[in-house]
Amino acid sequence: MAKRTTGLRFQPSGGSRASALPVGKKQALSIERLAGDGRGIAFFEGRTWFVHGALAGEQVEARVLGSHGKVVEARAERIAQPSPLRRPAPCAHAGTCGGCSVQHLPHGEQLGLKQGQLAEQLRRVAGAEPERWAAPLVSPEFGYRRRARVAVRWDARQQRLEVGFRAAGSQAIVALSQCPVLVQPLQTILLELPRVLSGMSKPQAIGHVELFHGSASAVLVRHVGPLPEADLAALAQWCAALPAQLWLQGEGPAQPHEAGAQLGFTLAPWNLSLNYRPGDFVQVNEQVNTAMVAQALEWLAPQPGERVLDLFCGLGNFSLPLARLAREVVAVEGVQAMVERAQGNAETNGLGNVQVHRADLFEPLHGAPWAAGGFDAVLLDPPRDGAFETVRGLSSLGARRVVYVSCNPATLARDTVELLQQGYRLKCAGVLDMFPQTSHVEAMALFEKSTDARAM
């Protein structure tokens, strides 16, 4: 998670060091505003309080989760005076499960919070405002999540297996009776999972479980010790009845229980099917992913005679649709297994105009053989750390159009500074609501360089 820079009212340096507040202490607070991540902010007796589950304008009773200096982390235990915006949390586990932190806000307000966080980062860090704001890309606010990681822990003292999601602000595991953000097939699997795992003869061998849904549903069982044959047979029988593929992972990569099983997803507008394996990065929200790819292609506007570069290409989520439009796509990825997966996906879909290369994209691009000849357009989709070293060399590639897909507005804003210095203009930006009910912000930005600037 990006380091928060809040600009809040801390005491000046040189004063006495504040003593830590005891965990569990309760305090009545007036919430003044929201932080970028959706927590309420209050000020009391010289301390700044970040309160999970609170909204601006509310009077709450908060319980201390931890404190450091004059900053206190807390959770709203009771809402004495609610905000008019507050809605009843749709999930029964709100406030205990750590997965959905802002579901007490209507979805439209969630989008506004995310839009504000993106705009604030661009303005404060880069001094930039896009020439045009794009409407947020959205999906249904529930039933959207097509993968999930389920925590599993054997309690030796109680002699029982805990199965669920991590609690908010702790390592405790919350047993779930529902999870409305999962796609329906995974909701069914999640609710049956505790019974199936608890019935195993050696449940302490289970490390965690991951669930996937695409061209098929899949259950990945990560085990920290050998699974008895009877337990393996029970898992296989349960998965067959669901139906779902069973995948197993011990010390090495994940492997299907039945040889030849394939997991994938489609990009229907471009008649593409992409295969992946558990452990590969796949966007969690199918509808927003499809809309995101469509918007990226619209903004980048690749022409039939153009050469396009896709950095951090992963499975080929952008590369393959780009190849439907451009003369040639050069796709670059840092992980060899993903390079092989992207190349395989290109071949499976009959796309001979895609080249896939492996490179360390956290190093400068200068001298990379695949960059020779330059590009008309560039798309990049880096991880949370952004792509500072990569964007430093973009201008030398000759691209007039750059689409930057970001999962961290802070690093997008930092990299925007570098692109502006190279003569690019921030033409358009917008939010991608990949994770409704959370404060997580994904975004897309279009940068363009004029013909005159390109020639400089």
Bridge partner list, 152: 163
pLDDT value, residue 364: 84
CATH class of 147-263: mainly beta
Q: Is the peptide bond before 243 cis (omega within 30 degrees of 0)?
A: yes
pLDDT digits (tens, 9 = 90+) for 412-452: 999 999 999 999 999 999 999 999 999 999 999 999 997 65
pLDDT digits (tens, 9 = 90+) for 42-92: 999 999 999 999 999 999 999 999 999 999 999 999 999 999 999 998 999
> In this structure, what token pair is assigned to residue 307?
């050469």
Residue 284 and residue 435: Cα distance in Å, rounded? 8
Residue 205 and residue 228: Cα distance in Å, rounded? 9
Annotated catalytic residues are 407
User: For residues 152 and 206, is the Cβ–Cβ distance under 8 A?
Assistant: yes
User: For residues 198 and 163, is the Cβ–Cβ distance under 8 A?
Assistant: yes
- Confirm whether 111-140+285-455 and 147-263 share one CATH topology: no
pLDDT digits (tens, 9 = 90+) for 132-168: 999 999 999 999 999 999 999 999 999 999 999 998 7
- Distance linking the first and last C-alpha atoms of the chain: 37
pLDDT digits (tens, 9 = 90+) for 229-238: 999 999 999 9
**364 CA to centre of own chain:** 25
Between vectors from CA 110 to CA 147 and to CA 136, what angle results, nearest 5°? 80
Specify the pairing of strand 26-30 against strand 33-34.
unpaired
User: For residues 336 and 365, is the Cβ–Cβ distance under 8 A?
Assistant: no
Looking at domain 111-140+285-455, its CATH superfamily turns out to be Vaccinia Virus protein VP39 (3.40.50.150)
pTM passes above 0.85: yes
Quick one: CATH architecture of 1-86? Beta Barrel (2.40)
Which of 285, 265, 290, 286 has its CA nearest to residue 275? Answer: 265
- Phi, psi (deg, nearest 5) at residue 296: -60, -45
Which of 91, 95, 60, 92 has its CA nearest to residue 78? Answer: 60
pLDDT digits (tens, 9 = 90+) for 313-334: 999 999 999 999 999 999 999 9
pLDDT value, residue 456: 42
pLDDT band at 18 (very low <50, low <70, confident <90, very high): low
Average pLDDT over residues 8-16: 44
- Distant-in-sequence, close-in-space partners of 90: CB < 8 Å, separation ≥ 6: 103, 142, 180
Ranges of each domain in the chain = 1-86, 111-140+285-455, 147-263
pLDDT value, residue 131: 98
CA distances from 365 to 147, 317, 374 (A): 33, 22, 12
DSSP letters for 375-438: -SEEEE---TT--HHHHHTGGGGT-SEEEEEES-HHHHHHHHHHHHHTT-EEEEEEEE-SSTTS
